[in-house]
Amino acid sequence: MLRILIVLGALAACLAAPTNETLPGKIVGGTTAAISQFPHMLALMNANNAQFCGASIISNNWGVSAAHCTVGFSANQLRVRAGSSQVNSGGSIHVVSQIINHASYNARTLNNDISLIRVATPFVFGTNVRAIGLRTTELTTGTYTTVTGWGAIRAGGAGSATLLQVSVPVVAPATCANQYSGITNGMLCAGYAAGGKDSCQGDSGGPLISGGLLVGVVSWGGVCAAANQPGVYAKVSFYRSWIQTNSGV
């Protein structure tokens, strides 16, 4: 059975899985990461400061995440932690003041799985807190990307207390479409044919980056790190105009 990066945690809304696909995002086969390497990284938390998804800073008051992480929540139920590689401590906590889920988000197919979150108090930029630029063009097949998060280190396992990173290559759209039904132009696939490295539960909404730019948002996939089951990400270049229209970024 395939994984969908499902949001778990208090007050999380129940989400329908894509047909024949189940279980969303974590880092498998990765290494620890310093927040100074990924200062755009945000931990998305519930009102009890429990992390259940990731997000990325794109300006001093906006972040981007996955719609399946934010649908079902009101803004005052969410927080983000910025500037810390530790999921439960450090950095600064910001109350979310606005959520914008993509109007065409489909909880069954996970098409248009992208959302914007605005914080009530602006991020203060420095070594450990910084916005990331947004890619406007598609990546070439085989390009290496990096995904980060606090998700589980094995399928069905507990999340990591420390930020993790893993490098995965972009998979050709046709190859990904042969593996999964429902791949759209707004999705990007990345992973190894042999498996072993991947995002998984708890990484949902977090960043996939390449060349210092945000290229994807962790969305869904098959069994974490399994052979021929790459991770699927919302393609940032496809949603670039939507982001600009709704956030001004």
Among candidate residues 85, 160, 204, 247, the one labeled active-site is 204
Give yes or no: 40 in active site.
no
The torsion region of residue 156 among left (phi > 0), alpha (psi -120 to 50) and beta comes to left
Give the β-pairing of 51-57 and 62-65.
antiparallel
Exposed, middle or buried, 210 (CB in 10 Å: 0-12/13-18/19+)?
middle
- Give the active site residue among 85, 113, 160, 219: 113
The position carrying tokens 């992390």 is 51
- Is 94 marked active-site? no
Residues in CB range of 196: below 8 A, 6 or more apart? 28, 29, 225
Amino acid at 173: P
Residue 104 known to be catalytic: no
Q: Which of 40, 65, 68, 198 is catalytic?
A: 68
Catalytic residues: 68, 113, 204
